[in-house]
Structure 1
Amino acid sequence: MSARRVGPFARAALVSLVAAAGACSGPASAVLPPPRVSSQAPAPAAPPAELTPQPAPSDLSQKTATAPADPQPETAAPDDLSPQTAKRPAPTTPLELVFVGDIILGKYRLDAYAPLFAADADPFAAVADLLKADAAIANLETPLMHTRPERSPIYIGSRFGADKQAARALVGRFAALGVANNHALDLLTAGLEQTPAVLRELGLTPVGEARKTGDVVQVATLERGGWRVALLAATTWLNRSPAPGDPALAVFKTGEMPRRLLPAVRSARATHDLVVVLLHWGQEYSEGPDHAQKTAARRLLAGGADLVVGHHPHVLQGLERHEHGLIAYSLGNFLFANTDERSRESGVLRVRYLPGQRCPERASFHPVWLGEAPGFTPAPAPAAQAKEIAKHMQARSKLLRTPLTRDGDALVLSGWSCPPEPDPKAM
């Protein structure tokens, strides 16, 4: 067939047909990668209406994780607030929040169980004054059951678990506990389901609990002195994959945290005075965050969060002041069976807010030293240890361009310049 010349009008029609065909095929970014399991769990392809988790592998020697369903895309907060939100009076008194690191209440050793403290003991007695605040918040790395099994139901190196009686040690010290972490399935389905129930029965608020239906990213609310504080939690991996039918946890890669969490952050921003995000992430025994963590934390603050608090590395990492907010990348251990001398360095982070302000009036870090085996209980750090802890925290925070100044035994961060409340439609 001989070639023919195409006139200008025919050429325009051809261009229009090609463009329409490309639009029907959709952008390349709409094609999600297949699901896979890794220590930094990526998001799977969008599942059908009923999500069926993959069965747990028979070989549990590797750290594995299963990511939950992809939530809705990021959306801005609604243009108008509900009448109930609009009528809610603003806080009139300051708010002080306290944050600490990882807590376990007991662990399995081979075929035996080792509690970290006696049934009638108070492991937090020595730090009671440091924990006094409107609300104290920690990461609970011990799944709970009403009655704990005598032997571990799984076979991995570190296996944690405790019963309701042991969890009573948290009452009167803490208001909320993050439960989205890599040990959430150490007591299998029973522990995954009973942990939030036990905490609620004790008057404590679970943050990041597993869910059978709905979005795995959820907001827990603390109300203190007229303040409404939103709490969210997520983890980057699990020790084992969930069993079929297990409730799903918020398990995401570090780089995916902003995309997965910001819709809930923005929604909470419209109905809460503060938004706090608890993240179980990072590398164990690393003294600082990686680039992905820093980027994710800063994006969460820019998108509406006020505080980002990290756990899992078992050692202290630096504090970072970013715009109006504060990032604590890792607060180390707080009650833990320590395996490394560095992990005995701990601390209490106190953050104080004034009414009508999202940036802290003052943040202070108070050095804590974890005791000897078998209790490893926290106490205000003796002079020598306090000096070393302060030195380490100042150096690690300086790398994040956040100077900490000494005020007695504490390290202090103050002098925020509070920006105007951002327009949710612009975030």
Structure 2
Amino acid sequence: MTSKLPATPAEALQISVPPLRLVVRAVTGLADRLGFWRAPLAGAAAASDEMTTLDTLYWVQKSRAPVTQPGADVPDMRADPVALPEGFVPDTRVTLAAAGDILRSRGIDGSKDVVFARIADVLFDADLSIANFESPITTQPLVEEVIGDKGPPLECCDRAQFDILKGHGGRRFDVLNTANNHRFDMGLEGIETTSRVLAEEGILEIGTNASPDQQGCGWVIERDGLRIGLVSDTFGLNGHKLPADEGWRINVSALSPKRGDPDLSSLKRQIDDCRAKGCDFILATVHWGWEFEMFPRAGQVAAARELAEYGADSIVSHHPHVIQPVETYRTARDPDRVAVIAYSLGSLTWGFTAPHIVLSTVLNMTLTKGRVGGETRTYLERLSVTPVFRTHVEEDGVALTRIEKLADHADAADSPLDQDHVAQVAAHADRVLGPGWRTQGG
């Protein structure tokens, strides 16, 4: 039986001012009938502290009916096959799996060793598994997510809920990014409790700094002699302000400004630091973009490519709560180097059931270190993109969240899932990724 969860944030919207409810109803009704906002609204805000009433209305509408067309100025984002350059002699291979947002939601509490069971092979069999963790762990009373006109929702979880979200069957994420817009939702206690728990679990936390000296530095993790540098930044903190003497704690930059270009200076400093530490491969994790838009904006594409030219060997991104394209970008700095740019991996866990929101992707990459032209280099040898989607069901009176591979259920006569719903999920995957995912496999 399907668990009773709202389909979209718009369905769960709580508005305290009656006239505003009428405005929201009128504007969304007009948008449905007239078809505006199917393409991105020019000049729209991404950060909550830059939003006007128009931005808020646009956000509500696209949460229920996502923007499915790219802006007219967005360049082509190629997704060519990845291969090692000719003459490359491989030495060491390391596999990496990357996923998007992990948020606590209703239906999680009873889902230990259930939520990731069907995707554990693509997510946890890799040498290195990474995701964006967006519900700070807290010892304070838990706050329920409320989406409404009183400000951005608060996210949080307790230690028991984190034990469900951290992995499957004894395997867990190796790296969790915590530079995101919900990082300061539970204040300094939430920052410190999360960092302490991740350290106890042996999970590398990136994006939140352990001391003032860490600010501007990257993180390094080694597998089989291959040194991987990690850099991280977020576009904002939902209007929350760190105390003046605590600003070093979270990497925050104007990455998705309403006006002007993204500020990449923090990410570039971290890339410089990873280079200085002798990293073989540098992965940028970036929390940015416009929610519920299925294609990045032109300025974001330009900024991602600038990072790739500066030294990010691949980029994984999150925040929009929907998937966006995965580009394979051949750099000018090294014509043999193809940087994967995943503009949004979507939300792996969250408490909404609409087809565009339950869909996310798991990215699998093989990093190979070897020699070519007499020099040691590390390149991408393989890339696969696995669309996955959440199901929310009730079994024996317990609400469960389970993530499925989309290829196992799309056009599958023996699937027990609602095929109309699955077809809508698959249509979004086709639109963003192209139809190749249906035969690629994990």
**Counterpart in 2 of 1:68?**
none
Deviation (angstroms), 1:217: 3.3
Deviation (angstroms), 1:243: 4.4
Deviation (angstroms), 1:369: 1.4
**Counterpart in 2 of 1:178?**
177
Q: 1:163 aligns with which of 150, 155, 158?
A: 158
Question: Residue type matched to 2:129 in 1?
Answer: A
User: Percent identity among equivalent residues?
Assistant: 29
Kindly tell me: are residues 91 and 200 of structure 1, through their superposed partners in 2, closer, same or farther at Cα, counting changes over 3 Å? farther
**Counterpart in 2 of 1:16?**
none
Q: What TM-score, normalized to structure 2?
A: 0.64
CA RMSD of aligned residues (A): 3.2
Query: 8 Å contact 2:156–2:186 — kept in the other structure?
Result: yes
**Counterpart in 1 of 2:361?**
347
Deviation (angstroms), 1:365: 0.8
Distance (Å, rounded) in 2 between the aligned partners of 1:309 and 1:341: 22
Query: 8 Å contact 2:353–2:391 — kept in the other structure?
Result: no
Q: Which runs of 5+ in 1 are unaligned?
A: 1-36, 43-60, 62-89, 107-113, 399-403, 412-427
Matched, 1:265 2:301: no
Kindly tell me: are residues 187 and 93 of structure 1, through their superposed partners in 2, closer, same or farther at Cα, counting changes over 3 Å? same
Deviation (angstroms), 1:120: 4.8
Kindly tell me: are residues 406 and 250 of structure 1, through their superposed partners in 2, closer, same or farther at Cα, counting changes over 3 Å? closer
Which of 1 and 2 has greater Rg? 1
Distance (Å, rounded) in 2 between the aligned partners of 1:218 and 1:325: 22
**Counterpart in 2 of 1:224?**
223
Deviation (angstroms), 1:101: 1.0
Query: 8 Å contact 2:328–2:339 — kept in the other structure?
Result: yes
Question: Residue type matched to 1:258 in 2?
Answer: L
Deviation (angstroms), 1:188: 1.5
**Counterpart in 2 of 1:314?**
321
**Counterpart in 2 of 1:408?**
439
Deviation (angstroms), 1:232: 1.3
**Counterpart in 1 of 2:10?**
none
Distance (Å, rounded) in 2 between the aligned partners of 1:40 and 1:251: 14
Task: Return 276-285 or 217-226, whichever deviates more.
Answer: 217-226
**Counterpart in 1 of 2:432?**
396
Distance (Å, rounded) in 1 between the aligned partners of 2:225 and 2:422: 35
Distance (Å, rounded) in 2 between the aligned partners of 1:267 and 1:391: 42
Query: 8 Å contact 2:317–2:344 — kept in the other structure?
Result: yes
Kindly tell me: are residues 134 and 121 of structure 1, through their superposed partners in 2, closer, same or farther at Cα, counting changes over 3 Å? closer
Deviation (angstroms), 1:185: 1.3
Q: Secondary structure at the match of 1:101?
A: strand
**Counterpart in 1 of 2:24?**
none
Distance (Å, rounded) in 2 between the aligned partners of 1:143 and 1:407: 35
Distance (Å, rounded) in 1 between the aligned partners of 2:422 and 2:216: 37
Higher relative contact order (CA 8 A, sep 6+): 2
Task: Return 154-163 or 305-314, whichever deviates more.
Answer: 154-163
Deviation (angstroms), 1:167: 1.9
Query: 8 Å contact 2:253–2:264 — kept in the other structure?
Result: no
Q: Secondary structure at the match of 2:118?
A: helix
1:192-219 per-position Cα deviation (integer Å, ceiling 9, x unaligned): 2221221111110111014552463331
Q: Secondary structure at the match of 1:237?
A: coil
Show the 5 A alignment for 1:105-254. Answer: 105-106=104-105, 114=106, 116-118=108-110, 120-131=112-123, 132-145=125-138, 147-151=139-143, 156-169=151-164, 170-171=166-167, 172-210=171-209, 213-214=212-213, 216-244=215-243, 245-247=245-247, 248-254=249-255
Distance (Å, rounded) in 1 between the aligned partners of 2:155 and 2:275: 35
Query: 8 Å contact 1:119–1:166 — kept in the other structure?
Result: no
Kindly tell me: are residues 157 and 38 of structure 1, through their superposed partners in 2, closer, same or farther at Cα, counting changes over 3 Å? closer
Task: Return 151-160 or 306-315, whichever deviates more.
Answer: 151-160
Q: Secondary structure at the match of 2:121?
A: helix
Query: 8 Å contact 1:41–1:253 — kept in the other structure?
Result: no
Query: 8 Å contact 1:367–1:410 — kept in the other structure?
Result: no
Kindly tell me: are residues 92 and 148 of structure 1, through their superposed partners in 2, closer, same or farther at Cα, counting changes over 3 Å? farther
1:239-259 per-position Cα deviation (integer Å, ceiling 9, x unaligned): 232242445321112234433
Kindly tell me: are residues 303 and 41 of structure 1, through their superposed partners in 2, closer, same or farther at Cα, counting changes over 3 Å? farther
Deviation (angstroms), 1:153: 11
The size of the alignment, in residue pairs, is 317
Q: What TM-score, normalized to structure 1?
A: 0.66
Question: Residue type matched to 1:251 in 2?
Answer: V
Kindly tell me: are residues 92 and 359 of structure 1, through their superposed partners in 2, closer, same or farther at Cα, counting changes over 3 Å? closer
